[in-house]
Amino acid sequence: MQLVVNIMVLAAIYALIACGYVLVYRVSRVLNLAHGELMMLGAYLLLATASLFAGNPLTALAAALGLSLVVGILVYVLLMRKMTGEMVLAAVLATVALGVLLRGAVILVWSAQQQYPAQALGLANPPLELPGGARISTCAALLIVATAVVYAALFVFLRFGRWGVRMRAAGQSPLLAAQRGINLHAVYALAWSLSTLTGSVAGMLIALDSGLTGTMVVIGLKAFPAALVGGLDSLLGALAGALIVASAEVLLIHYVDPLLSDVVPFLVLIAMLIVRPWGLFGTREELDRV
């Protein structure tokens, strides 16, 4: 039972992070390898607002979420906008460079020590007893709820929202979308900010649950196979991929070797790339386009 809960929590983490990869890739064909760092930055923003609005956790959370939206827009306007029209690889490497830059900057501003935003906010994190004798921390439960909410919202937004439709159109054919009067830069900026927002939500909840250091980036990187296994341009795929990667990881750690933790997602990824490179729900033509 505990195993199932662990899988659910890890899958929720991966899914919440993976949807950021999917959003940006689907709209602009850029693989954002700085997503882990952006997620970490979101968590540190919460730390910053926590000291500003001490004793007022909800305000702090809202402020941090707002800031992370701004960060996403800034990333696009200041950096990724310059990379449009360059080779896809150049854009990906730009995100890698951004990641390195952010990692250094975060350590400079907030130091490399482990921090606990939950304490700064004055939040407790009591474990909940589930039927069947399993335990789950409040934050982890919140994380699962948040993942469900985010995914539901994204599905509705992309399906029915005016901007959601624009985003899908821009992803399918930037040229045609631009000719129909869709502001591509606005759409891309929106995709980046949404992606940063969802990543930050994940980062904040993980930080509230288990503290915050620079090693959080690794989680972001491990979520990326989840996105690819499901198919880089499919949200549904990200959910399925997260579930597959998380169950493989938890089961292998439990039954084989704890050291495997860092490598399992990538083993799953390699297997998927050999069998079905475009992922479970991905579009096949994607492969030739990049």
Partner 1 sequence: MRANPRASGYFRTDYRQDLALVQTRLQRVAVAVLGAALVAFPFLASPFQLDLACQVFLAAIGSLSLMLLTGYAGQISLGHAGLLAAGAFTAGILFREVGAPFWITLPAAAAVGALLGVVFGLPSLRLRGLYLAVSTLALHFVVVYAGGEYETRRGFSTGIVIDPPSLGGLSLADGRAWYFVLALAAGATLLLCLNLLRARTGRAWQAIRAHETVAEALGIGIAGYKLLAFVISSAITAVAGALFAYYRGFVSVEAFSLFLTIQYVAMIIIGGMGSLLGAVLGAVFVTLFPYWIESALLALPGARRYAGEVFAVNYAAFGLVMILFLVFEPLGLVGIWHRVQTYFLLWPFRRRPAAGSRR
Question: Contact residues for partner 1 (CB under 8 A)?
Answer: 31, 79, 82-83, 86, 88-90, 92-94, 96-105, 107-108, 112, 221, 225, 228, 259-260, 262-263, 266-267, 269-270, 273-274, 277, 287-288, 290
- Residue 8 contacts residue 148 (beta carbons within 8 Å): no
In the bound state with partner 1, the residue whose beta carbon lies nearer, of 36 and 57, is 36
Residues 6+ apart with CB under 8 A from 28: 80, 84, 170, 171, 188, 191
What's the closest the beta carbon of residue 95 comes to partner 1, in angstroms?
Answer: 10
Helices 2-28 and 184-210 meet at what angle, rounded to 10? 160
In the bound state with partner 1, the residue whose beta carbon lies nearer, of 54 and 287, is 287
Residue 107 structure tokens? 């350590």
What's the closest the beta carbon of residue 16 comes to partner 1, in angstroms?
Answer: 20
In the bound state with partner 1, the residue whose beta carbon lies nearer, of 57 and 99, is 99
Fill in the DSSP letter of residue 281: S
In the bound state with partner 1, the residue whose beta carbon lies nearer, of 250 and 269, is 269
What's the closest the beta carbon of residue 277 comes to partner 1, in angstroms?
Answer: 6
What's the closest the beta carbon of residue 83 comes to partner 1, in angstroms?
Answer: 7
Residue 41 structure tokens? 């930055």
> Which pairs with CB-CB distance under 8 Å and at least 24 residues apart come from 100-109?
102/34, 102/37, 102/38, 102/40, 102/41, 103/37, 103/40, 103/214, 103/217, 106/37, 106/40, 106/41, 106/44, 106/214, 107/214, 109/44
Report CA dihedral (268, 24, 234, 267) to the nearest 10 degrees: 0
**For residues 158 and 276, what is the distance between their CA atoms, to the nearest angstrom?**
26
What's the closest the beta carbon of residue 42 comes to partner 1, in angstroms?
Answer: 18
In the bound state with partner 1, the residue whose beta carbon lies nearer, of 42 and 265, is 265
What's the closest the beta carbon of residue 102 comes to partner 1, in angstroms?
Answer: 7
**For residues 127 and 90, what is the distance between their CA atoms, to the nearest angstrom?**
45
In the bound state with partner 1, the residue whose beta carbon lies nearer, of 163 and 266, is 266
What's the closest the beta carbon of residue 148 comes to partner 1, in angstroms?
Answer: 28
In the bound state with partner 1, the residue whose beta carbon lies nearer, of 86 and 129, is 86
